A and B are shown apart, each in its own frame.
Chain A
Amino acid sequence: MAATDAQTSLRHAFGNVLAFFILILIGVLAFSIRLFSVIKYESVIHEFDPYFNYRVTQFLTKNGIYDFWNWFDDRTWYPLGRVIGGTVYPGLTLTAGTLWWILNSLNIPLSVETVCVFTAPIFSAFASWATYLLTKEVKGPGAGLTAAVLLAMVPSYISRSVAGSYDNEAVAIFALIFTFYLYIKTLNTGSLFYATLNSIAYFYMVCSWGGYTFIINLIPMHALLCIVTGRYSSRLYIAYAPLIVLGTLLAALVPVVGFNAVMTSEHFASFLVFILIHVVALVYYIKGILSPKMFKVAVALVVSGGLAVCFAMIAVLVAMVASSPTMGWSGRSLSLLDPTYASKYIPIIASVSEHQPPTWPSYFMDINVLAFLVPAGIIACFSPLSDASSFVILYIVTSVYFSGVMVRLMLVLAPAACILSGIALSQAFDVFTRSIKLQLPSLSIDSPVDAGDGSSESVVPDDTVKTDKTEDTQKERTSKKSRSRKSSSESVEKPSSKSQIKKRLSVLPLETSIIAIVLLVLLGAFYVVHSVWAAAEAYSAPSIVLTSHSHDGLHVFDDFREAYAWLSHNTEVDDKVASWWDYGYQTTAMANRTVIVDNNTWNNTHIATVGTAMSSPEKAAWEIFHSLDVKYVLVVFGGLVGYPSDDINKFLWMVRIGGGVFPHIKEPDYLRDGQYRIDNMATPTMLNCLIFVETDGKAFDRVRRTEIGKKHFKLTHFEEVFTTHHWMVRIYKLKPPKNRIRGKTKKSKSKANPKTVSKRKELKRNPF
Chain B
Amino acid sequence: MAMEPLLRIGVLFLFLHLSVLVNSSPSHHLQIINAERRIDLTSHIIKVYLTLKVENLGTSPTSEVRLAFSPAEAEHLAVVKAAVTTGKRKKKTYVPLDVKPVGPPDGPNGTKFFSVTLLTPLGKGETTTLEVLYILTHSLEPFPVEISQSESQLVYFRDSAILLSPYHVKQQTTFIKTPRSRVESFTVVEPTKRAGTELKYGPYDDHTPYSYSPVLVHFENNNPFAVVEELEREIEISHWGSIQVIERYRLTHAGARHKGVFSRVEYQTRSGASGVSSFKHLLAKLPPRVHSVYYRDEIGNISSSHLRKDFLKSELEFEPRYPLFGGWKSTFLIGYGLPLQDFLFESPDGKRYLNFTYGCPLSDTVVDKLIIKVVLPEGSKDPAAVIPFQVDQHLETKYSYLDIVGRTVVVLEKKNVVPEHNIPFQVYYNFNPIFMLAEPLMLASVFFLLFAASVAYLHVDLSIRKS
Contact = CB atoms under 8 A, between A and B. Distances in A.
Interface string A669-709: 00000000000000000000000000000100000000000
B402 A108 contact: yes
A566 B400 contact: no
B262 A558 contact: no
Interface in A192-208: none
A544 B402 CA distance: 34
Nearest to A42: B301
Interface in B307-340: 321-322, 327-331
Interface in A331-381: none
B262 A721 contact: yes
A267 B399 CA distance: 49
B90 interface: no
A260 interface: no
A44 B301 contact: yes
Contacts of A698: 265
A561 B300 contact: yes
Contacts of B264: 720, 722-725, 727
Contacts of B403: 107
A562 B321 contact: yes
Interface in A533-560: 544-545, 556, 558
Contact of B402 (A44, A106, A545): A106
Interface in A42-75: 42, 44
Given A107-B401, A569-B329, A564 B263 contact: no
Interface string B386-408: 00000000000001111110000
A698 B401 CA distance: 53
Given A561-B299, A569-B329, A727-B264, A722 B401 contact: no
Contacts of B262: 720-723
A42 B402 contact: no
A724 B322 contact: yes
Contacts of B64: none
B399 A107 contact: yes
B302 interface: yes
Interface core residue of B265, B300, B329 (most chain A CB under 10 Å): B300
How many chain B residues sit at the interface, stated as a range, is: 20 to 34
A569 B265 contact: no
A109 B322 contact: no
B329 A570 contact: yes
Contact of A109 (B261, B265, B302, B401): B401
Given A569-B330, A721-B261, A723-B264, A108 B401 contact: yes
Contact of B303 (A558, A564, A570): A558
A109 B399 CA distance: 8
Nearest to B323: A725
B260 interface: yes
Interface string A107-124: 111000000000000000
Interface string B231-250: 00000000000000000000
Contacts of B331: 569
A720 B402 contact: no
| A570, A719, A720, most chain B CB atoms within 10 A | A570
Interface string A707-731: 0000000000001111111010000
Contacts of B368: none
Contacts of A42: 296, 300-301
Interface string A563-586: 011100110000000000000000
B429 to A, nearest CB: 21
Contacts of A561: 299-300, 321
A565 B330 contact: yes
A143 B351 CA distance: 63
A724 B260 CA distance: 16
A720 B404 CA distance: 53
Contacts of B261: 719-721
Given A558-B302, A698-B265, A565 B321 contact: yes
A590 interface: yes
B297 interface: yes
B449 to A, nearest CB: 15
Q: Which of B327, B399, B404 has the most CB of A within 10 A?
A: B399
26 contacts: A42-B300, A44-B299, A44-B301, A106-B402, A107-B402, A107-B403, A107-B404, A108-B401, A108-B402, A544-B300, A545-B301, A558-B302, A558-B303, A561-B299, A561-B300, A562-B321, A565-B299, A569-B328, A569-B329, A570-B329, A698-B265, A720-B262, A720-B264, A723-B264, A725-B264, A727-B264
Interface of A: 42, 44, 106-109, 544-545, 556, 558, 561-562, 564-566, 569-570, 590, 698, 719-725, 727
Interface of B: 260-265, 296-297, 299-303, 321-322, 327-331, 399-404
